[in-house]
Amino acid sequence: MAIVRDRDYIVDGIIPGKLIRNCIGEHRVGIDRLNTLKKYYDGEHDILQRTLSSVDLPNNKLVCNHAELITDIATGYFIGNPIVYNKDGLEPILDNFKENDMHNIDTELCRDISKLGVGYELIYMSSDEVPVPKSANLDPSNAFLVVDNTVESNPLFAVHYYAKMDLDNVIEGYHINLYTDTKVIRYLVKDLSTEDYIPVIEEAHYFKEVPIIEYWNKSNLKGDYEGVITLINAYNLLQSDRVNDKEQLVDAMLAVQGASFGDDIEEMSQTAKFLKENKVLELPADGDAKWLIKQLNETEVEVLKNSLKDDVHEFSKIPNLTDKNFATQASGVAMKYKLFGLEQLAKTKEGYYRIGLKRRLSIYSNIYNTKGSNVDTKGTDIQMTRSLPVNEVELTQMVTQLDGTVSLETRLGLLPFISNIGEEVKRVEEEKQKNMEEQQALFESQFPSDKGPIDEEAK
């Protein structure tokens, strides 16, 4: 979450070193949480650290990575299709987005948002011969935004900091990049606890805004699987112990009555080795032998496993797509009920993501307007289409039936395979005009005018 500070601390655009240090210190308080969430996505779960009292006991450590599954499904559903911007005059920005593959930037941003609850985008000028604005993702572990304490939470400045490593890969200092609405100030400090922030480089920029954008996942900035980590841990433990029990079942103990394997430990060990290799056991007439086997109630364990799995999906709002209910030919309405929780999650994400996208468009337009373009991004229609299999035949029939009731632009907006509605409307009108001209030409060829050409000499 953005760090809040009073604007009065900044005088004449100068940000005190003490303020920078305190903001970095406040940001680093949450680093452990971010690192834990990253590890869970990468499959580094708590079960991997489990130890038992005896090294002879089976200690399987199974990682069932529900965290990765939750984030990948939530991100794919929400941002699997490129974002569409509808407004005349946005061509310079949209061409830039297409050239620099902005959809990949959005995908990685949304993955960070899903994992960590927050994501950061840096807008910078490229190093090309003719510089253009570009975007990059910043790791929330080393970037943050500082806003004022008004109800509008206006950005004051942003910081991106990272370690400077020597040739032995040992930290010898830290790079601090500070972004205001007019300039970029770069520092190099020995320690993050210092207040001696002396600029190494100070460069002006023309974004007219702080060029780092903060994106939220939800109001409390929690990740999509953060609330079910305890359930994931329980599921990992249950599955690991099931394998442990199977191993212990294979290594069952043999109980022998009425017979002795030897008089001392060495002789008993040799007898046990002989029995293991030759699979032969000789007993006296009154002797007996039987395996001590642990009774496993797989039915109860399976019920518990399914219960934990259902809870993970229920409380994360991510449906279990391997469930048999998704294999049936359900109607569109029935499928929407199954995806209701995921859709509500996506709508929440969309609301906060739009806020960041509007800032992105504003910052990009500032650069193009500085270069002489006239780009106005206000009122841009931002369309975000869910990535979900649809019955296109059924949908097309519905669009056709709405002809005469709903406008062409609205009907075309219902079709997921149309990316630019405005352009498609123009094409439809052009085709109609072309068909009218062809029909008129055909009519004139079949029914020529009786007047014919005028003979100038007859005059």
- How far does the chain reach from its first CA to its final CA, in angstroms? 89
Alpha-carbon distances, residue 308 vs 10, 232, 302, 324, 434 (angstroms)? 51, 8, 10, 17, 62
pLDDT, tens digit, for every residue of 234-276?
999 999 998 888 877 666 666 777 777 777 788 777 877 777 6
Predicted confidence (pLDDT) at residue 79 exceeds the cutoff of 70: yes
- All structural domains of the chain with their residue ranges: 1-248+298-389, 253-292, 390-447
Predicted confidence (pLDDT) at residue 309 exceeds the cutoff of 60: yes
Predicted confidence (pLDDT) at residue 25 exceeds the cutoff of 50: yes
pLDDT, tens digit, for every residue of 389-439?
666 676 677 778 878 788 877 777 767 667 677 777 788 888 888 888 888
Predicted confidence (pLDDT) at residue 328 exceeds the cutoff of 60: no
pLDDT, tens digit, for every residue of 102-123?
999 999 999 999 999 999 999 9
Q: What's the pLDDT at 459?
A: 47
pLDDT, tens digit, for every residue of 274-297?
776 766 777 777 777 776 666 667
Q: What's the pLDDT at 212?
A: 97
pLDDT band at residue 450 under the 50/70/90 scheme = low
Structure tokens at 368: 């193009």
Percentage of the chain surpassing pLDDT 70?
Answer: 89
Q: What's the pLDDT at 154?
A: 94
Residues 6+ apart with CB under 8 A from 189: 173, 174, 176, 196, 197
pLDDT, tens digit, for every residue of 370-388?
988 889 999 999 989 888 7
Contact criterion met (CB below 8 Å) for 122 and 138? yes
On average, the pLDDT of the chain sits at 87
Altogether, the residues listed in the chain come to a count of: 459
Predicted confidence (pLDDT) at residue 455 exceeds the cutoff of 60: no
Predicted confidence (pLDDT) at residue 444 exceeds the cutoff of 80: no
- Specify the range with the lowest mean pLDDT, choosing from 41-45, 74-78, 355-359, 435-439: 435-439
Q: What's the pLDDT at 272?
A: 74
Q: What's the pLDDT at 332?
A: 60
Mean pLDDT to the nearest integer, 351-356: 96
Q: What's the pLDDT at 454?
A: 53
